[in-house]
Each structure stands twice: as C-alpha cells, then as structure tokens.
Amino acid sequence: MAQDKIPSSVLFCCDHNAIRSPMAEGMMKKFYGRAAYVQSAGVKNDMEVDGFAIAVCDEIGVHLAAHRSRSFDEMQDWGDDLSQFDLIVALSPASQRVALEMTRCAHLDVEYWPIMDPTGLAEGREARLAAYRQTRDQIETRMLDRFGPPIPPQG
C-alpha cells in the first residue's frame, strides 16, 4: 500500500525555493493529500516563485502562485526544526550539502534526487516552458517511484 512508503513529514529543498522544491511540495500535496506534512525550503531565499514553474504546474492542477519562498535559516527562525522531518529530499547539490550539514546530529534520511535546474537552458517562451516541463516531469517520476501511486482524494 502506498501509505507505507510515505513518511509522515517531508522537506524538499533546492537552491532558491523558487522552482524545483516548490514544484515538489505542490505535487506531493496534490498526489498524497494529508498523508504527509510537506514543506520546502532553499539554501537562499533571494527569488520569488518562478512564473514558468507556476505555469507548468498549473497544467497538472498544482497551484504554486501563492507559494512564498523561504530559506533554511528562515525555517529555523520560524521554529521549524529540520530534525522534525522524517525525510529531507535535496533536489540540488548545494541543498544536499546544507541539509547534511544541518542534520548531522539528527537521525533522519536525506535523499538526493538530481533534478535539472531549467533556468537559462532555453531561449523563447515555448522552449523555456518545455525545459520547465521536463523538470516537473523528472520530479513527478522520482516522486511516484519513491512514494507510490497518488492517493485518491477523500470525500
């Protein structure tokens, strides 16, 4: 059963919490509902959620427009301790390093999913959207492989 594969709390992280980790957070919430507490963070918080990320996630019913980017430091300032998460999924090498450093005294899993950063890979709107879709689809594939098929909405 899929619920057996889903940790009770998951943190997705990447470099800026503007593309990959918000996509993953939104997809996890859509696919698995309340099976897990899900958050996302970045190494830095110096960008808003990317408009192309919002557009390609809207295509699959994942709405990111209201997401507010935050960093690991802000999470700690707001009282979110990384050790409260059962699983941290790092979507970039920099976020993997920070997650491992910040959790070296905690007994929790940090997984690395090498997900492509689509920024700057293409010129023109359609080519850029295609790159962002590729990133979205990489996250979706890894998520379904790791956590199993989506849980039908309740009610």
pLDDT digits over 100-132, tens only? 888 777 777 899 999 999 988 788 999 999 999
pTM here is 0.91
Find the helix packing angle between 125-147 and 20-32, rounded to 10°: 50
Find the helix packing angle between 20-32 and 51-58, rounded to 10°: 20
Residue 23 reports pLDDT greater than 70: yes
Q: What whole-number distance in Å separates Cα of residue 52 and Cα of residue 32?
A: 24
- As a 3-state breakdown, the chain gives helix, strand, coil percent values, each rounded to 5, of 45, 15, 40
